[in-house]
Structure 1
Amino acid sequence: MTNEQGSIEIRSEHEEQEEQTKELKMKNEKKSGASRTFSGRRIALSAMFTAAAFGVSWLEFPLFPTLDFLKLDFSFALLLIGAYMLGPTLGGISVIAVQLLRLTITRSFGVGEIANLIAAACFIIVPSLIYRFKKGLPTVFISLAVGTVMLILGSLLFNRFITFPLFIGEAGKQVFYANIWLIVLFNLIKALSNGAITLLLYKRLKKLFNKML
């Protein structure tokens, strides 16, 4: 074997070792990330946000008499703060848990909860995913703007194809288009009010919970 062949073999063995080391490092990072996401303290905080959001969701009220099923509450603010602090995974679990709990107190046969689940996915999960990749107050503003647009679009689609046809019947399409701007206005108010509460509480709660995590 020549010196050149020996050096090539040594380099290839070294490269293989480096690749194995990188793969092992990536696996360890994934494991540590998962264990960090589901640590006892983070799960406890997630449960606290879930319970608080469920309690606040009881304090709902209609904005427009003609569309009294569109009720405003401020539970999204608590869920959004939780998703920003704990990540989209635990944030998503909290969203689902709140809607499952609401099934025990509402009479919408699950339609309202599905609507809220879609709205929460738009206004809570999407912004928290954006925030995960770039943290900071400017990102909060950007993600809230994106979430607001997503919330309005998601609500329009769900009401057009599910809520109005299901509860009104054949006239659902006409009634929907007659009230489309009220639906847009309602979701804009919902997004702005919950977004404002999020911005007011975010920095204060973040400092407090960072000490606990």
Structure 2
Amino acid sequence: MSTNVKKSNRTSAKKIVLVGVFGAISTVLMLLSFNVPFIPTFVKLDFSDLPVLLGGYLLGPLHGSLIALIKVLLNFFYNGSMTFGIGETVNLIGSLSFMLPAVLYYQRRRNFKSAVISLVIGTISATVVLLTANYFVMFPLYATAMNFPMEKIVAAAHALNPLVTDLGSLMVFALLPFNIVKFGLNSVLAMLMYKRLAQTLKLEH
């Protein structure tokens, strides 16, 4: 076996191990979710997208996608689902719509400016995708599956945020700022950790 083949096999094995490790860390971070003021209690903030994003940058978009999938599946098996899988689906959509555009853009040119732009693109992409999916599909589906009328969902959100009066304002005044803060914080942490992590692991896709 040639040296190049051995090196390629070691790199592939290392990536597989890292996908598992990042997936496990992401699951733990997902379990450590918490509520945010003025945001409905059924929407929680966590930093589980950080390992997904870092994994995507270091290992590539396919491996980053696998990390996101592992996170959601492990959380499902550990916690089950109180939303018939709707919440988990939303989480996976958010992770992929955040990580994939960011990583694909950064792969074109690897420098600090591109990294910043890629994170902005990822944040905007995830926010737009999630608001669209939640408004047209996920919230109506949740209301039907849980037999919980949309009016009650809006009323619960209104109790915490008076600006929320209907589904549209729930998206604009609650989920929009929430997603910007969530993905923005994950982006900042990724910026702080990426280079050092890449140097430590001696692996950059």
TM over 0.5: yes
CA-based RMSD? 2.5
Task: Note the C-alpha offset of 1:100.
Answer: 1.3
Pick from 88, 96, 99 the counterpart of residue 61 of structure 2: 88
Task: Note the C-alpha offset of 1:158.
Answer: 1.6
Residue equivalent to 1:190: 182
Greater radius of gyration (CA): 1
Pick from 178, 183, 192 the counterpart of residue 200 of structure 1: 192
CA contact (8 A) 1:84 1:128 kept: yes
Q: Secondary structure at the match of 1:179?
A: helix
Kindly indicate whether residue 148 of structure 2 is the aligned counterpart of residue 148 of structure 1: no
CA distance in 2, matches of 1:212, 1:88: 12
CA distance in 2, matches of 1:177, 1:96: 29
CA contact (8 A) 1:127 1:143 kept: yes
Q: AA paired with 1:75?
A: S
CA distance in 1, matches of 2:88, 2:189: 22
Pick from 138, 148, 155 the counterpart of residue 163 of structure 1: 138
Residue equivalent to 1:18: none
Between structures 1 and 2, the one with greater helix share: 1
Size of the aligned set, in residue pairs, is 180
Q: Which moved more, 1:36-45 or 1:103-112?
A: 36-45
Kindly indicate whether residue 19 of structure 2 is the aligned counterpart of residue 46 of structure 1: yes
The gaps in structure 1 that reach 5 residues or longer are 1-31
TM-score normalised by length of structure 2? 0.79
Q: Secondary structure at the match of 1:109?
A: coil
Q: AA paired with 1:83?
A: G
CA contact (8 A) 1:83 1:124 kept: yes
Q: AA paired with 2:44?
A: K
Q: AA paired with 1:102?
A: N
Q: How does 1:21-170 map to 2 (within 5 A)?
A: 39-64=12-37, 67-104=40-77, 105=79, 106-166=81-141, 167=143, 168-169=148-149
CA distance in 1, matches of 2:184, 2:117: 13
Q: Secondary structure at the match of 1:72?
A: coil
CA distance in 2, matches of 1:170, 1:85: 41
CA contact (8 A) 1:37 1:86 kept: no
Residue equivalent to 1:12: none
CA distance in 1, matches of 2:118, 2:204: 25
Against the structure 1 CA distance between its residues 169 and 197, is the aligned structure 2 distance closer, same or farther, given a 3 Å change threshold?
same
Q: How does 1:171-190 map to 2 (within 5 A)?
A: 171=151, 175-180=166-171, 181-190=173-182
CA contact (8 A) 1:148 1:188 kept: yes
Task: Note the C-alpha offset of 1:197.
Answer: 0.8
The gaps in structure 2 that reach 5 residues or longer are 155-164
CA contact (8 A) 2:106 2:115 kept: yes
Task: Note the C-alpha offset of 1:159.
Answer: 1.4
